[in-house]
Each structure stands twice: as C-alpha cells, then as structure tokens.
Structure 1
C-alpha cells in the first residue's frame, strides 16, 4: 500500500504537466488570472445592468458580453502577419498586457465620472483584441514544451484551473459587488491580468521564435489550413454551432435571476459556481480520456450538455435546476481539452499558433453572436423560454452532427477507421 501511494502522483497523467520545470512556473499566474475572469463573469453583466437604461438592459448586456470577446475575431486577421511568428509565451503575454491596460481604464473612467455604457463597451472591446492569439499562445506553449501524449492532460489542467476559478470567482464577485460595486471587481480582474503578464515575462526564457516559425505568411493562413482539413473543418462547424447556441444563455441567465426569480447577483454567482464545480470535475476527468475517440466524444458532449440544460429552461425549481446546471458544467469541461488536442495532433508546431488563433476567432465570434441574438430573443419570448429553446437546439445540433459522423464512418474503409482510432488513443 505505501508503494502504491508513493507511485500515485507520478502515475497520474497530470504529473508530467504539473512537474514540468517551465509549466509549473506559469500555472500560478494562470490560476490568478482565471480567478479574475471567474469574477468578471458576474461583474461584466452586472455593471452593464447598472449603466444601461432600464428599458434596454437586455440589449446592453448582450452588447457588453459580446464586446468582451467579439473583437478578437478581427484581431486574428488584423495582427496575423505581426503575431504569426511568435512563441506561445509571447502571444499569451501580450494578450495579458492589453487586457490589464484596457480593463484598468474602466475604474479610472468611473473615478473620473466619465464612465457611460458606451465607453464601457468600447473599453471591453479594446481588452479583447488579442484574445484569440492569447488563447492560441497558451495551447501552443503546451505543444512546444510537451510531447503529444501529454497534450490532452495539459489542456485539461487549463480547463481545471478555469473550472476552479469559476467555483470561487462568481460568489466572491457577488460579495464584492454588494460591498464595493461591480466596477471594482473589474479593477481586480485587470490586476490579475497584470500578474499573468509578469508571469509570462519573468517565468519563461525569451524565445527566438523568428528562427522556429514561418514568418510573413498570409494573415488568414490559419483559416486556410482548417478549410483544407475536413476533420478540423467539421469540428470547427460543430463548435461554432454549439457555442452560438450557448450565447443567449449569458443574457437569459441574469434576466431570469432578476425578473423571474426576483433574486440578486448572489444567486447568479451560485449558479455559475455550480457550473464551475461540475467543470472542475469534468476537467479532472478529461485528462483520463486519452483512449476515447475524440471526435465521437465531442459530439456526445454537445448532446449531453443540451439535455442537462433542459431543467433550467423548463422552469424546474432551484433545487433541481442548480444540480442540473452543475451537470452541464461537468459535461462541458472536456470539450475544449479534446478539441484542442485534435488541433494539436493534426497541425504542425509551425502552423499551430495561426490555426489555433483562427479557431479561437471563430469560437469567440460564435458566442457573442449568440449573445447578441439573446438580447432581442429574451425581449420577445422571455428569459426562461430562451433557455429552453437553446437547450433543445443544442440537443438537435449534436444529433445532426452524430448522423453526419455515422455516415462518414460508414463511407470509410476499415483500415482508415483503425488508423483514426489508433491516432486518437496516442
């Protein structure tokens, strides 16, 4: 028994990740920044509610949430030639610097008495310009430092950190909003990004990326790689549809809490915490799924997530909808880890930053577009019916994707299927 206990940490798929001499220096900074983002989930929408006109709250919540992510799609193209030759640490570090600067301007504008809902949205948009490149940088760093067999566990570590922050961040944000106001939670988020930027700068050695990566290529080279790879293109289409249909939830949830349940930001934080608890468990489980067929599992995640969201849309009591929301978080968590592993396995290291940035740009675009749809949708049919419509549509999307996958598999030769399964299990 003692020998089994001694072997446990090193036998875990996560041990090569958390014990890596460079990654272990970055993980604390990522955890701090994730906590700030966990608080921002509540603060961004709540500050929009406070700044927006009473009869336009739904629309401005949608715009604010979209502004916090949508501009990264444009940033992927605008900064394509400049950033494409950079290392993962550089990309992630520059994104953190921009986030810290733009978000810090929000409380400064508030103190100056000039913060309006319009300026708030502009600053949120500025903070998001490099978001796709920053996300690409994190997963590129994993591909740079670890062999392929450790990519999925490493991706899952990032998901687990995010899930833990979602547990702690939203209720902490609810407390801080009640005590000091949402604008100061945004200030804390800015400070956490500053910590992350310093982490990338000080914890990792400077990389001479100009000699390791292709420079001067097209700004849209990453999109071209995805377009010519049917497997990656199919995954991107599924992800876009999935995230687009999740988008309206960000608008419907706070309105459902305030108008239907007549509750405060604290309850909204509790729901997001429940989701985070599920996400934490799901993130831990994801690293142990290396032997599962990744494409099939991603489709199953979509269907399962939609089913788990049904109680919330059907108006189930909090005692039932809260654990269902936690289950949705558990099912959701492995999706990004697995999809990133597919990209890491299907793309060369030289192409990976641009390809992941392109993928991130589409995914980031999907959520805000769905969120912007959520504003008028909630206004027309209400918050709870919007949640139900999204849940049903997500289930339908997964079933359709499953049908396509079955038809493609039946068209393949047995040898092709065998190769696919062997590759997925590596």
Structure 2
C-alpha cells in the first residue's frame, strides 16, 4: 500500500490529536493544566484555612460558608455582568476570570502577612474571586467553538475534562503535603500564582479575536436565559442537567453515613470509594473523545440512565466487593456528561450567543449540587442513607429515560433541534473562518 494512503498511526489517529496539535490550543492547554492543579489543591486548602481562622465553636458553619463563597457568587456574576461581557471573545472571558481569581486569591496571603486576615475578610475574598467564574467557564468552551469545527468539539471538551479530573486526583494529596509543610494560606498563594500563569497564557497565546460591533441596544442581563428558553433542546438540556446534578447532591451526605453505619467501614473505606470514582472518571474522560460519532442527545440522556444504574448496588445493599467497582463504573459513565452537554450548546447556537447561554447555564447549575446536598440531610435522617441512595439512583434512571424518550418524536419527524449533519442549523450559519461549512457538520 502506498505510504500516502496508509491510515495514520497513533497518536495522529486519535480524536484528540487535532485538539492537542492545534497551533493555538496547544499553547493554552499547559496553562489550563497548571491552573487546574492549583484548583485541585484549593479543594483542601480552602476548607483547611477556614478551620484555622474560624472560632472553634463555629468551625462547621464557617467552613460551609467558605466553600459556598468559593462557588455560589458565580451565579450572581452571570447576571450582574451580563450586559458588560456580552459579545466578548472566549479568550477574553476566560482571561478576565483568571485575572480576578488571581488578584482576589493573592490578597489572602497578603492580608495574612499584614496580620489582617480574619474569617470574614477571607470569605469576602473567596466570594470576590468567584464572581466571574461562570463567564470564565463559558469562555473556555466558547474558545473551542471559535477555533474548532463541530466534529472536534467533543474531543476538545473531553481534554478539558481530563485535565480537571487529573487535577482532582493529584491536587488534594499534594495540598496535604504542602499544608503540612507551610500551611494552607500558602497553598492558596500557589493557587493564585497558577491563575496568573493562566491569565498570561490567554493574553499571549490567543490573538485578539475581534467580534462585530455590538448593537446600539445592549442585551439585558438575563439575555442568556432567554436564549435557552427559546431553544427547545437547550431548555430540555438545562432541565436534565439541573435534575442530574440535584440528584447527585445527596450523595455527599448519604455516602459517609452509609460507609460508617451500614458498611461499618472507616475513613479509609470512604477514601477507597472516592478513589474508585475518580479513577473511573479519568478513564471515562479518556474515552469521551471516541464518542464523537454518536448522536449527542441520546448519548447525554443515556449517560444519566447509566449513572443511575451504576449507583443501584449502593442503594440495594451490595457488599463492598460489588459496590466499589460499581461506583468506579459510575465515575466512568459520569465523566462524558459535561463534554457531551457542552457540545450540544456549541452545535446549537452561534459563537456570538454562546457565552451568554453558557454563563446562564452555569449560573443555574452551580446551585444544583448544593441544593441537592441540603436535600440529602433530611432525606438521610428520615429514610436512612441506603434508601436515600436508592431513591436518588431510581429517580436518576427515570429522569434519563424521560429525557431520552422525549426527543424520539422530534427525531422521527426531523424537527429536533440537534444538528443532523446535513448542514448548518438555522441559528448557526457556517463561521467566516470555516467557509466550507465543515463546522456545521456533525461527527
């Protein structure tokens, strides 16, 4: 066989190759990896520093407030900054989020050195650092939509997920070592430095991609919610994702209780479950790019069903030898969800409208897991940990089945919102940098 017709060998045959070899993305990905590692360490450092700063009798309350402050204000930021940030490029949005994170987090060790760091100031700075996080997340996925054709969106989203999963596995134990050596405040200082690296990466690696001049009338602060509300697939996707994340929230309450009271295990046993889930998620993330030829909506709904099925052994009282690998399988199935759901957004609307829709999506979803966790408290107390997990697993399966069945009539009649591969959707013409229209083709 002539060499010029031979199929490409690994790694060029991998669906990830066009992503990691892209001339701009390959310069951004190292900065994203460094920043993700910093955030992985912050998972431990944020709570540990709150424990150090809070009065002994109020440690539990202030720790919960600190964790909430590091995430929940992003929901408000999605609305507050809607008019100002609408129409900005993906790199600008992600870069400004990195700048704010770096500045607010760096103020924490500076206040510590000045002897002025109190628990109140600490929580305030954490809240300030998260204000643009919904827009930063939207910016990362918008950048992918701006740079790559549709068929490469899912592998690119998966690369971001793999980076995050790896950092979640490596970051916490590394933080533990550094906290023991220097204290949690300096781990947060390292996290701030990683955001400086990320901000410089966006500034230097991605050229300024000018958008058309904004209209004379600025969009409303809630324009992103309007985009989702008027798009049937995205409206259903937001409901599916909110329900999926809400039903996952009780796990954080029920799982420790199940391990200690029902399985009579220790903290080590609980750690094994977390490790199994993380390892499964990493493998699932690596496999996600190979799903790029699968139809997105059925795949996304199928992930929800599969996750619920994998969680059933915990709720049915299976022994550790069976429930532990089932929990790893749950992580494997869970991993592609963010990538497929983001690909649905990227394929459904224009790159101009995408940041607003994704910021609105993030604003809603950032509330889902905390609400589910709050719901998990009375559920676990009222019906027990095992029944709580069984109820959540069964409801998750039902949610996924309803979502999958709801799209069947539209797919049969050809009226579904998901691109069919025949050309651009009505809301998304071919991009100027993609005159052949390949960005509108599926898989």
TM-score norm. by structure 2 comes to 0.82
The reply on whether 1:110 has 2:112 as its aligned counterpart is: yes
Greater CA drift, 401-410 or 237-246? 401-410
Cα displacement (A) at 1:292: 1.8
Out of 66, 69, 82, the residue aligned to residue 68 of structure 2 is 66
Taking the TM superposition and a 5 Å limit, the aligned residue runs for 1:133-212 are 133-211=135-213
Cα displacement (A) at 1:60: 3.8
Q: How many residues align?
A: 421
The reply on whether 1:396 has 2:429 as its aligned counterpart is: no
Q: In the aligned structure 2, how far is the partner of 1:163 from the partner of 1:320? A: 24
- The equivalent of 1:124 in structure 2 is 126
- The equivalent of 2:26 in structure 1 is 24
Distance 1:309 1:36, change over 3 A: farther
| 1:68–1:125 CA contact under 8 A, matched in 2 | yes
- The equivalent of 2:83 in structure 1 is 81
| 1:66–1:372 CA contact under 8 A, matched in 2 | no
Taking the TM superposition and a 5 Å limit, the aligned residue runs for 1:267-282 are 272-282=274-284
Distance 1:369 1:29, change over 3 A: same
**Structure 2: which 5+ runs fail to align?**
423-440
- The equivalent of 1:334 in structure 2 is 336
- The equivalent of 1:247 in structure 2 is 249
Q: In the aligned structure 2, how far is the partner of 1:199 from the partner of 1:270? A: 36
Q: In the aligned structure 2, how far is the partner of 1:77 from the partner of 1:324? A: 39
| 1:39–1:169 CA contact under 8 A, matched in 2 | yes
Distance 1:111 1:76, change over 3 A: same
Distance 1:273 1:405, change over 3 A: closer
Distance 1:37 1:388, change over 3 A: farther
Q: Greater helix share, 1 or 2?
A: 1
Distance 1:346 1:87, change over 3 A: same
Q: In the aligned structure 2, how far is the partner of 1:317 from the partner of 1:54? A: 38
| 2:225–2:357 CA contact under 8 A, matched in 1 | yes
Cα displacement (A) at 1:413: 4.0
Distance 1:418 1:79, change over 3 A: closer
Q: In the aligned structure 2, how far is the partner of 1:58 from the partner of 1:85? A: 41
Cα displacement (A) at 1:64: 2.4
| 1:66–1:371 CA contact under 8 A, matched in 2 | no
- The equivalent of 1:368 in structure 2 is 370
Distance 1:404 1:13, change over 3 A: closer
Cα displacement (A) at 1:392: 3.0
Cα displacement (A) at 1:66: 2.0
- The equivalent of 2:436 in structure 1 is none
Q: In the aligned structure 1, how far is the partner of 2:239 from the partner of 2:344? A: 14
- The equivalent of 1:409 in structure 2 is 408
Out of 41, 54, 59, the residue aligned to residue 39 of structure 1 is 41
Q: In the aligned structure 1, how far is the partner of 2:175 from the partner of 2:305? A: 31
- The equivalent of 2:381 in structure 1 is 381
| 1:167–1:274 CA contact under 8 A, matched in 2 | no
- Secondary structure in 2 matching 1:288: helix
Taking the TM superposition and a 5 Å limit, the aligned residue runs for 1:267-306 are 272-306=274-308
Higher relative contact order (CA 8 A, sep 6+): 1
- Secondary structure in 2 matching 1:11: coil
Distance 1:415 1:320, change over 3 A: closer
**Structure 1: which 5+ runs fail to align?**
none
- Secondary structure in 2 matching 1:292: coil
Distance 1:404 1:83, change over 3 A: closer
Distance 1:40 1:220, change over 3 A: same
Greater Rg over alpha carbons, structure:
2
Greater CA drift, 98-107 or 190-199? 98-107
| 1:311–1:321 CA contact under 8 A, matched in 2 | yes
